Chains A and B, each alone.
Chain A
Amino acid sequence: MTDGQISLRAAATDARTEPGLVRWIITGLAVLFLTVFVVLPLVLVFAEAFSRGVGAYFSALIEPEGLAAIRLTLLVAAISVALNLVFGLVAAWAITKFDFPGKSFLITLIDLPFSVSPVISGLLFVLLFGMQGFFGPWLQNHGIQILFAVPGIVLATVFVTFPFVARALIPLMQEQGTLEEEAAISLGASGLQTFFRITLPNIKWGVLYGVLLCNARAMGEFGAVSVVSGHIRGETNTMPLLVEILYNEYQFVAAFAIASLLAMLALVTLVVKTILERHLDEGQPVSDD
């Protein structure tokens, strides 16, 4: 918060701020609303997870089902993040280092998955690879399993996390311009030398930022993955899917134990995000004055 804002000490009659009672009510409302709708649910996750003690918590986590879900979630996230990282870097290079018609339309297309409901994201791949889908019969004849298997889960996850890295990089690289790259090229550097020695060091915080958000969503995605996974226990259940199953089976401690891991992931993500945002603010281009 910057200076020059109204402090609570200011006179109540001042036209630059509100009367004390009004300020008190507004602050109270904001705090109450956030507490009821956000803080309490979050606290409840951990309270429920540990409601039968630490022993019950950890034994719930090391159930074979739980471990399988954790492994699958990590695998899916690793593949999706890697794919979207490469795509994000490639797309950001093409979009920010060159001029071409239709650039903003291309950016809109890349953003598209953000406006698609998770369930519909899953549905898209069912329509392509399901038995009644476009490629379903062909895939079955060739013994290739995409739906209700890991490839389907990866595809759906890649779809819903598609824009994250590109979105984090495009504004950053647009702001940084192409001059440093032009300088490197004119000094005789090759394209790859320019990318790895000049561009990448300049955007590293942005890359981490995109990867962080991409990873959080990839690990936490529920709707899209739910539609394509087939819910095969121990095989195609990611952590969010297992949370659903355990909860519906009234295994509340186990459900909240797995949920608490995901909640921790969310909290860590938010903390790291704040740190990265600070780095990104500092990484402004060198100005000449």
Chain B
Amino acid sequence: MGTRVSGERGRRNTLPGFGLTMGLTLTWLSIIVLIPLAGLFIKTFELSWDQFFGIVTSRRTLNALKISFGLAFAAAAVNLVMGVVIVWALVRYRFPGRRIFDAVVDIPFALPTAVAGIALTSLFAQKGWLGAPLAELGIKVAFTPLGIFVAMIFIGIPFVVRTVQPVLIDLDTEIEEAAASLGANRWHVISRVILPSLIPAILTGFALAFARAIGEYGSVIFIAGNLPNVSEIAPLLIVIRLSEFRYADATAIAVVMLVAAFLIIFAVNRIQSWAQNRIPVH
């Protein structure tokens, strides 16, 4: 709520430093973020449409994109369901270690991805703590697409939990009691009263987990197996193309992923404003 005036005397601000701080902000933002991002798009425009189309529809690229987007979507869906289950348990129930488990949710945010990557790989490797029993059942996780899926679930957990949790905490229990007093049974209260209020937060958490999983690299590449067309994610293909000095290929894949990421962020913003319009602010 700064105060600014335009007029014959020019602009005057009550507090000093607008020109200096705004100038520094825009300059630094341009150097670190805007110019590098612009560079990526300029590089893309050096390609002809056919070249670009050729790269992104080549079998290996398409498969990598399919693997990244498909598994990220599936992992985000698992996070959606399990995220709501976790939030429900953390918010509504009391059980020993509840606070610890609440804190544990943030670990995928905080743990460096490379650490998560090697830990998950060793855990699910054939001789690992979980890999061994799973191998007995004939399920192979590490170095298969299933491993990618597992890593993407890991990094997506906090998104749904941390977006839904505050909404459920703020949800007025009076509404539930009112519904119950009107004769609704528990299932009706949950499905008709509680879940609808949580849907914007759930969708937001899903979209954020999805976006994160698409771009994820560190925690996935160790466990992925990285077999072209089978278990090779799009970010890894970018790295491979760069090491082969095929910058155009790397750039084209990056642009596709970046546009997808921006679209998801845009969708999240739409969900947020929709939710705000739908549920009146108290």
| A residues with CB within 8 A of B | 1-2, 4-8, 14-19, 23, 26-27, 29-31, 33-34, 36-42, 44-45, 48, 87, 90-91, 93-100, 106, 109-110, 112-113, 115-120, 123-128, 130, 132-134, 155, 158-159, 162, 177-178, 181-182, 185, 190-191, 194-195, 216, 219-223, 226-227, 239-241, 243-244, 247, 252, 255-256, 259, 262-263, 265-267, 269-270, 273-274
Contacts and interface: CB of A to CB of B under 8 A. Distances in A.
B209 interface: no
B218 A120 contact: no
A4 B118 contact: no
A119 B215 contact: yes
Interface in B1-15: 1-4, 13-15
Which of B33, B101, B117, B177 has the most chain A CB atoms inside 10 A of its CB?
Answer: B33
Contact of A33 (B85, B176, B215): B85
10 contacts: A1-B169, A15-B184, A30-B101, A31-B97, A38-B157, A41-B119, A91-B28, A124-B36, A194-B15, A243-B118
B139 interface: no
A124 B39 contact: yes
Given A26-B85, A87-B25, A222-B218, A15 B185 contact: yes
Contacts of A185: 14-16
Interface of B: 1-4, 13-18, 21-22, 24-25, 28-29, 32-37, 39-40, 42-43, 82, 85-86, 88-95, 97, 101, 103-108, 110-123, 128-130, 150, 153-154, 157, 169, 173, 176-177, 179-180, 184-186, 189, 211, 214-218, 222, 235-236, 238-239, 242, 245, 247, 250-251, 254, 257-258, 261-262, 264-265
B112 A266 contact: yes
A41 B114 CA distance: 12
A106 B3 CA distance: 19
Contacts of B130: 36, 40
Given A219-B112, A220-B111, A16 B91 contact: no
A69 B118 CA distance: 18
B25 A91 contact: yes
A112 B214 contact: no
B39 A37 contact: no
Contacts of B254: 117, 119-120, 123
B21 A94 contact: yes
Interface SS of B by simple majority: helix
Given A31-B97, A41-B154, A134-B42, 11 more contacts: A44-B129, A90-B21, A116-B258, A117-B215, A120-B40, A123-B40, A123-B242, A125-B36, A185-B15, A270-B107, A273-B106
B118 A124 contact: no
B93 A8 contact: yes
B1 A99 contact: yes
A231 B150 CA distance: 27
B114 A243 contact: yes
B89 A112 contact: no
Task: Decide if the interface of chain A is mainly helix, strand, loop or mixed.
Answer: helix
A94 B22 contact: yes
A130 B97 CA distance: 50
Contacts of A100: 4, 22
Nearest to B257: A117
B162 to A, nearest CB: 12
Contacts, number: 304
B112 A262 contact: yes
B247 A132 contact: yes
Nearest to B158: A38
B251 A98 contact: no
A220 B15 contact: no
Given A116-B258, A123-B238, A240 B113 contact: yes
Given A116-B261, A155-B32, A259-B119, A42 B238 contact: no
Interface centre among A23, A34, A162, A216 (most CB of B within 10 A): A34
Contacts of B185: 15
Contacts of A95: 25
Given A99-B3, A120-B238, A252-B122, A38 B32 contact: no
B36 A221 contact: no
A242 B104 CA distance: 26
Contact of B107 (A1, A2, A38, A226): A38
Contacts of B239: 119, 226-227
Contact of B115 (A1, A262, A270): A262
A270 B258 CA distance: 30
A113 B218 contact: no
A15 B189 CA distance: 8
